[in-house]
A and B are shown apart, each in its own frame.
Chain A
Amino acid sequence: MALDQSFVGRSYPPTDPYEVGREKIREFAEAVGDANPAYTDAEAAKALGHPDVIAPPTFVFAITFKAAGEVVADPRLGLDYSRVVHGDQRFAYRRPVRAGDRLTVTSTIEAVKSMAGNDILDIRGEVHDEAGEHVVTAWTKLVARAAEEA
């Protein structure tokens, strides 16, 4: 069944702050095998002009996806989450995420479409720091594949 179009443009309240830890950044950098010292060595990060260690570019997805999950799980939307796959992902950075950031995400549904039985949802997550400054925007396209014929 097609999703409710009235959800387009709907924004959800900001999430509780997520505090970015330097050990979580290290863990993420190790998991993707990235030895760039800007992720683990504050002096190396400072030499590049950053106040502290920074996170790899895709690190912030863990935070924005969790926020998007609250949208996806909204029972009024009626998305079948068990059939959801990740279609597209895009980020626009004002500055890199760094250790000590306390980040909140405000999610907005940008588009709701149905194509060939698939439900497609575009969610924009605006990430702000504790001072209210914009850090990064994440656009996530989720596709709920059509259920197979029984």
Chain B
Amino acid sequence: MTAKISYADVEVGTELPAQTFPVTRATLVQYAGASGDFNPIHWNEKFAKEVGLPDVIGHGMFTMAEAIRVVTDWVGDPGAVVEYGVRFTRPVVVPNDEQGAVIEVSGKVAAKLDEHERTVRVDLTATSAGQKVLGMSRAVVRLA
């Protein structure tokens, strides 16, 4: 495992480079195929509205996959992620147009956990259309 970031070089409060991730209906269809999650709330507007949603919504697991990229891009080695958890607090609503929606993710080092294991906890914030879409979004990462 080869993280690019060294445990000694980070402090509590160190900010990770923030990123924005676009998501359109086409993105959701592609993710459905790759993940095997074909729930129609993620591609069928009529069905989504019938079950009380405002429109088609993104897969929670898609948002979870995007959010951790802020961490994996930072450390370089995705295998450095030791733990990762989120709460799905609000859906990402994806309109049927060219723009779709945008997921904005930022992260910062919330705690240095173990000097011997070189692990830190990163807290992530993910929003879409100004609303927080993930809660309790945390990753434990092993640094170099």
A positions within 8 Å CB-CB of B: 24, 27-28, 30-34, 36, 38-39, 47-50, 54, 56-58, 61-62, 65-66, 85-93, 95-96, 139
Contact = CB atoms under 8 A, between A and B. Distances in A.
B64 interface: yes
9 contacts: A31-B30, A32-B62, A85-B88, A86-B60, A86-B61, A88-B88, A89-B64, A92-B82, A95-B79
Contact of B83 (A30, A56, A61, A90): A90
Contacts of B82: 92-93
Contacts of A139: 85
Interface stretch (B8-16, B68-76, B109-117, B125-133): B68-76
B90 to A, nearest CB: 11
Interface residues of B, number: 34
Contacts of A28: 34-35
Interface string B56-67: 000011101110
Q: Is the interface of A mostly helix, strand, loop or mixed?
A: mixed
Interface string B37-70: 1000000000000000000000011101110110
Given A33-B21, A36-B73, 7 more contacts: A27-B34, A31-B31, A31-B34, A33-B27, A56-B78, A65-B37, A89-B60
A30 B30 contact: yes
Nearest to A148: B52
A48 B77 contact: yes
Contacts of B72: 34, 36, 56-57
A79 B72 CA distance: 36
Contacts of B66: 32-33
A34 B27 CA distance: 13
Contact of B61 (A39, A89, A93): A89
A50 B80 CA distance: 11
Given A27-B34, A30-B34, A61-B35, A88 B69 contact: no
A49 B61 CA distance: 27
B39 to A, nearest CB: 10
Contacts of A90: 83-86
A58 B68 contact: yes
Given A32-B66, A58-B68, A62-B35, A92 B61 contact: no
